[in-house]
Structure 1
């Protein structure tokens, strides 16, 4: 299975580091996030990667070259002309991923100890269109799932705004963990072009496709702010 690592973002919340470097090279206990996530995925037998780059992308390419791609096969999806966000970035990387085999997506700025074998097994057993790792934790935005853990909506916790596929029958609000397992037929279903969030497509596609939530209680840290780097250093040695 291939994995797409989203590493193109500007990481504005991690300034001043990201004024001169990509957020994927932020260090947790002196090990860059990108290296940690490559080795995390390798520990589950994943050795083929697509990495999208934009903000100081050349530093990521050089970092990988210096480390001989950590013994893996790496293909670079270079968004040098425009940062395309997660949905646009996925479509832009299609030529590396559309081979009738499911693939993983992982945000470079998260750290987790989620058991990917269980996650992938769940996805394959369900024969899902897409499976999203989710957990019951504090978040300003939640995905809404029915009793079968199928995506039925989205909620902005702060404003109360909702987007629903049907009347909210007590749907379970859960926070997305930035890890997806995707069937490549998604490429033929996506309607948007250019710069857009993949979540926007999921919220459209939930009306016609089975998008499943995989509920986990694994450790999860979004390393998007300086204080979260300090938190991550307590748990990821």
Structure 2
């Protein structure tokens, strides 16, 4: 993105605050700190998140005979609570959760969200296995027409910076949204993404082994505008990764935000065991 050189004079205490804000990783220096703070102030804030938490977690049986996958404990708290706490940290407090299997376990634990510092409402999946797109489609009438929102899969655990992701999406001005990406040594297990600069030019869900053209994959976190709903058919099973995103990236400019953070897709007991050891 094109930048313009400026010369400004600031109070020393503000400069000291900028220096403390620059961590050398997410914020590189004073100029970057000023840019980030201005962007946060001037960019449209994202206050809404949708979490898909209806997965039965069949691979986690017998544990998931008693609880939905999203309630698996991690460091003394359910997986879903870690996701909600992360959202609250970035002041994203309006949360809708898609529930299905053993939904009463989630609803009774979190209630309306007030004891977690957020507001939570629920949408129950009446049919099994409607796909990620089908689950998202159920929220169409609950979202404000032009309000952007985060979409998060409830089996993804990461220390993502949601403010930085929202800033990235705002800078790229996509009318559909942006995808969070991460890297892996086994990309064929996920939706593989090919980038050109920051633009996603190809999305292939679970390609044949050794045929993946990139080690970048979808991280299971998205920032969408409600325009995404016009690409999801009604009343049928729809996978975002198989049925929507591959064509969408060909027709529209969708940017890819590459995570520099911890990231786990808790899809198997082996990954869950790794999370229990490594998550901080």
Which TM-score applies when normalising by structure 1?
A: 0.88
SS of the residue 2:135 aligns to: helix
Asked if 1:188 is matched to 2:188, the reply is: no
Specify every segment of 5 or more residues in structure 2 that has no aligned partner in the other structure, as ranges. 1-46
Matched, 1:100 2:142: no
Provide Cα deviations, 1:191-217, integer angstroms capped at 9, x if missing partner: 464211112211122222112211122
SS of 2:54's equivalent in the other structure is: coil
Q: 1:152 aligns with which of 182, 198, 202?
A: 202
1: distance between equivalents of 2:90 and 2:144? Answer: 22
Residues of 1 paired with 2:221 and 2:59: CA distance? 21
Q: Which has the larger radius of gyration?
A: 2
Secondary structure at the aligned position of 1:132 is classed as strand
Q: Distance in 2 between matches of 1:69 and 1:82?
A: 30
- Per-residue deviation at 1:151? 3.2
**Larger RCO: Structure 1 or Structure 2 (Cα < 8 Å, ≥ 6 residues apart)?**
1
**SS of residue paired to 2:221:** strand
Do the aligned residues in 2 keep the contact of 1:135 with 1:177 (CA within 8 Å)?
A: yes
| Structure 2 CA distance for aligned equivalents of residues 2 and 66 of structure 1 | 15
The answer to whether 1:37 aligns with 2:83 is: yes
Q: Distance in 2 between matches of 1:19 and 1:62?
A: 17
Residues 155 and 87 of structure 1, relative CA distance in 2, 3 Å threshold: closer
> Gaps (5+ residues) in structure 1?
163-170
Tell me, yes or no, if the aligned pair for 2:168 and 2:257 is still in contact at 8 Å: yes
Aligned 8 A contact 1:75 1:96 in 2? no
Mapped partners of 1:58, 1:110: distance in 2:
21
Q: What is the 5 A alignment of 1:9-158? A: 9-65=55-111, 68=114, 70-128=116-174, 129-138=176-185, 139-140=187-188, 141=190, 142-154=192-204, 156-158=206-208
Moved more, 139-148 or 41-50: 139-148
User: Do the aligned partners of 1:144 and 1:155 also contact (CA within 8 Å) in 2?
Assistant: no
C-alpha RMSD of the superposition = 2.1
Number of residue pairs the alignment of both structures matches: 229
Change (3 A) 1:64 1:118: same
Q: Distance in 2 between matches of 1:69 and 1:161?
A: 47
After TM superposition, the structure 1 = structure 2 runs for residues 158-197 of structure 1, keeping only pairs within 5 Å, are: 158-159=208-209, 172-191=214-233, 193-197=235-239
How far is the alpha carbon of 1:172 from its aligned partner?
Answer: 4.3
Kept after mapping to 1: 8 A contact 2:193/2:217: yes
More strand by share: 1
Instruction: Judge conservation of contact 1:151–1:212 (CA < 8 Å) in 2.
Output: no
Alignment of 1:222 with 2:261, yes or no, is no
Show CA shifts across 1:82-128 (max 9, x none): 33221001101112224311100111111111111111100111112
Distance 1:204 1:157, change over 3 A: closer
Q: Write the distance in 2 (CA, Å) between the matches of 1:203 and 1:66.
A: 36
- Secondary structure of residue in 2 paired with 1:106: strand
Whole-angstrom CA distance in 2 between matches of 1:231 and 1:160: 25
